[in-house]
Structure 1
Amino acid sequence: MDSHPSKKQIHWNPRPRTRPGLHLNTEKLPHHRPAIAQLQFTAHAIMAAERIDVRAISGFEIIGKSPFTIRLAEGGIAAIFRYGAIVFFNATEDEKAHLLQTVSPHASGAADLKVEETARVCVSPDEEEGPSGQDIKIKNADRLRLQLIAEVMAKATMLSFQERRAARDFDLSEPLARDLAEDGRFSAKPSELLKTVGNMLLAENRLNGRAGVLDRPDLLWDNPGLSGLYARLEGDYELHDRAAALDRKLTTLSHTSETLVETMRYHSSHRLEQAILLLIFVELCLGLYGHFGR
């Protein structure tokens, strides 16, 4: 007889390696659903103002916040940037006009609707993503890809806006330099000179402080798989090269503004010295008259 008690047989049923919720089909996630159903549509970027308070805009369905992205009444989409750019996707003229009218009370600074970027977006799941001629090819028209395209087109539009302003400021500074070269004096009024200097100083601040042209979009930190698309778009729109060229122009304008300020200060001090000498001369004449006139 066996003195050891019989051991109960252990039945082990291994758990499945896949657990509910850990292996989701990413194509069904909200940000991977196509935000626009059409396979071809237009992307249009404009400069609506110098600054827009996006937090004050209401009355639209918000589908993204970085950048601020809304759905328009007839199915179009718009991305609004605080430095004044708006990028429309598949939007009708009525949708654009309505949004510009809504944004107007919350915008500041002059718009420049002549500055724009336009591209055709084509959904091609089997082709490489990126620019192709006048087209931008993407595998899926989801929110993230549209926001990424909006980031690049908005920056390109802002650069065009600043390039036009820099050219205008150079045109304003050329006559001033010619005046100094000819007779050493300005023909413009002091208020006009100060306005020119102020525009030169503000140009660099607008570029570096508001737009962050060379900064990576926030959405790339959470979605590194879109970095290749962003790099190809950034290269096609020449953001780095244009920003560097504009930076050189703004540096020249900054030096010019400093020269103008110093020249104005010199002329002011020179006139002040002349006034002091004149007062001393008058006082001396009065003293002599009082001394010898008695």
Structure 2
Amino acid sequence: MDSHVDRKQIRWNPRPRTRAGLHLKTEKLPYQRPVIAQPQFTASAIMVAERVDVRALSGFEIIAKSPFMVKLGEGGIAALFRYGAVVLFNASAEEKARLLGKIAMHSSGSGDIAAEEVAMIHVGPDDEEGPSGQFIKIKNADRLRLQLIAEVMAKATMLSFQERRAARDFDRSEPLARDLAEDGRFSAKPAELLKAVGNMLLAENRLNGRAGVLDRPDLLWDNPGLSGLYARLEGDYELHDRAAALDRKLTTLSHTSETLVETMRYHSSHRLETAIFLLIFVELCLGLYGHFG
């Protein structure tokens, strides 16, 4: 049997790699005109309120709508978020004061100016994008990159705001827990106890609606080339770790409020039972007096 095969007739076609994940394409961002011309400028994020009606603001040129971004007039840019955060880029003191005055007319709830995040933005076409020391380096100060930085800084300052409030709520609950541990009863008045429970329930609601800290920004779906910058910023500001810590505090506050409510209910029912027993005893005494008297 002839086993000889002509090598010229053998053709080998390599099988294409079609499995997902073997070839990842990184989409290049199209060039966009910078909205800030300076090679270095300041970015600051503050919590001005608990809720802001961004659509009601007027008197500013709108640059983008998700997140809502406006020009301030003298080279400054501001990004506004419905949950009360405002991120300012290259804004002067006058521009900041004018914007905050406008926001005050369309906002509700109290903010916390002390819950502030500050960063220096450095623009360099040849730099690797991301946090580097005290700087956030970007290749171009265009709208998309500033929107992404605003998303991360706004979430970071919102977490700082919630962390400070959660700490105050814990300070309020500590004396109540100490009263229960020492003598099994509260030294505070019922109205004060109800106020403490109300503050804890408000804290729970605030932490539950914490602006989607772990949600991926919408602009990344249309601009995947910015995913690397977002991942580095998210890691530098420790958004996941801080959100997890707030969840643990939320759980503790929830259990504390439930304990307070159950304890108050127990004391109220005990007093009610005592009052019913006294009424029955008085009625029995009056009946005996009327029968034998």
Say whether the fold is shared (TM-score over 0.5): yes
**Amino acid corresponding to residue 222 of structure 1 in structure 2:** D
Q: SS at 1:146's partner residue? A: helix
Equivalent residue, structure 1, for 2:5? none
1:26 has 2:47 as partner: no
Aligned length: 265
Gap runs ≥5 in structure 2: 1-28
1:169 partner amino acid? D
Distance in 1 of aligned mates of 2:69 and 2:207? 22
Query: Is the deviation greater in 49-58 or in 169-178?
Result: 49-58
CA RMSD of aligned residues (A): 1.2
Matched with 2:70 is 70
Would the aligned equivalents of 2:42 and 2:90 in 1 still touch at CA under 8 Å?
Answer: yes
Query: Secondary structure at 1:26's aligned position in 2?
Result: coil
Q: 1:204 and 1:223 mapped to 2: Cα distance?
A: 34
Q: Give the distance between the partners of 1:227 and 1:244, measured in 2 at CA.
A: 22
Does the CA contact (< 8 Å) of 1:48 and 1:84 recur in 2?
yes
Q: Is 1:71–1:78's contact at 8 Å kept on the other side of the alignment?
A: yes
Contact 1:207–1:213, Cα closer than 8 Å, also in 2: no
Deviation digits for residues 81-129 of structure 1 (CA, Å, limit 9, x no counterpart): 1111100000011111111110012111111111100000000110110
Counterpart in the other structure of 2:165: 165
Q: CA deviation at 1:204?
A: 3.0
Q: Work out the percentage of aligned pairs sharing the same amino acid.
A: 83
Per the TM alignment, residue 201 of structure 1 is displaced from its structure 2 partner at its CA by 2.1
1:2-41 Cα shifts (integer Å, max 9, x gaps): xxxxxxxxxxxxxxxxxxxxxxx932xxxx1101011100
Residue matched to 1:255: 255
| Contiguous gaps of at least 5 residues in structure 1 | 1-24
Are 1:208 and 2:208 matched, yes or no? yes
Q: Which runs of 4+ in 1 moved over 3 A?
A: none
Question: Is the contact between residue 169 and residue 203 of structure 2 (CA under 8 Å) also seen in structure 1?
Answer: no
Instruction: Report the equivalent of 1:119.
Output: 119
| 1:34/1:141 contact within 8 Å kept | yes
Cα deviation, residue 210, structure 1: 4.4
1:10 — aligned with what?
none
Q: Which amino acid aligns with 1:207?
A: L
Deviation at 1:202, TM superposition (A): 2.3
- Which SS does the other structure have where 1:79 is aligned? strand
**Residues in 1 aligned to 2:212 and 2:281: alpha-carbon distance in whole angstroms:** 58
41-50 vs 198-207, which moves further: 198-207
**Aligned-partner residue type, residue 30 of structure 2:** T
Cα separation, 1, equivalents of 2:107 and 2:189? 31
User: 1:238 and 2:242 equivalent?
Assistant: no
What is the CA–CA distance in structure 1 between the aligned matches of 2:230 and 2:193, rounded to whole Å? 42
Q: Measure, in 2, the Cα distance between the counterparts of 1:220 and 1:208.
A: 24
Do 2:207 and 2:246's aligned partners in 1 also have CA atoms closer than 8 Å? no
- The one-letter code sitting in structure 2 at the alignment partner of 1:137 is K
CA distance in 2, matches of 1:185, 1:233: 48
Contact residue 47 and residue 113 of structure 2 kept, 8 A: yes
Alpha-carbon offset, residue 246 of structure 1: 1.1
Separation of aligned partners in 2, 1:289 and 1:74 = 91
C-alpha contact 2:45 2:85 (8 A) present in aligned 1: yes
The superposition leaves residues 227-275 of structure 1 with CA deviations (integer Å, 9 ceiling, x where unpaired) of 1000000000000001101111111111111111111111111111111
Task: Report the TM-score, using the length of structure 1 for normalisation.
Answer: 0.88
Which residue does 2:17 correspond to in 1? none
Contact kept in structure 2, 1:204 and 1:247, CA below 8 Å: no
Q: Secondary structure at the match of 1:179?
A: helix
2:38 is paired with a residue whose SS is coil
SS in 1 for 2:79: strand
Which amino acid in structure 2 is aligned with residue 170 of structure 1?
F
CA distance in 2, matches of 1:90, 1:217: 23
Deviation at 1:203, TM superposition (A): 2.1
Match of 1:142 in 2: 142
Q: Give the CA deviation at 1:188.
A: 1.6
